[in-house]
Amino acid sequence: MYLSKEKKAEIFAKHGGKAENTGSAEGQIALFTFRISHLTEHLKRNRKDYNTERSLVLLVGKRRRLLDYLKNTEINRYREIIKELNIRK
């Protein structure tokens, strides 16, 4: 499996504050970004995998909603996570 418990804990520790803080918006956005990049690489190799394509679109929507939430509530946290994850070009 591409996403082990250790990798998840590392992502949440880096972006969410602590490894146990799995509910923070920054941690969730970082996790979604990791999964999105993994699925994107998979789809480059497997063009006709439509189920994965649908999953990717759903994940991008979830991340977009969380980013919108952060943007509307705390703009500084939004700017930090965008810069850290290099989401916007």
Instruction: Please report the domains of the chain, with CATH numbers, ordered by start residue.
Output: 5-85 (1.10.287.10)
Give the pLDDT of residue 19. 83
Q: Give the model confidence (pLDDT) of 25-77 as tens digits.
A: 999 999 999 999 999 999 999 999 999 999 999 999 999 999 999 999 999 99
Q: How high is the pLDDT of residue 21?
A: 84
- How sure is the predictor about 22, in pLDDT bands with cuts at 50, 70 and 90? confident
- Given phi > 0 = left and psi -120 to 50 = alpha, else beta, which region is 76? alpha
pLDDT of residue 70: 95
- Given a contact cutoff of 8 angstroms between Cβ atoms, the answer to whether 25 and 66 are in contact is yes
Look up residue 21 and give its amino acid.
N
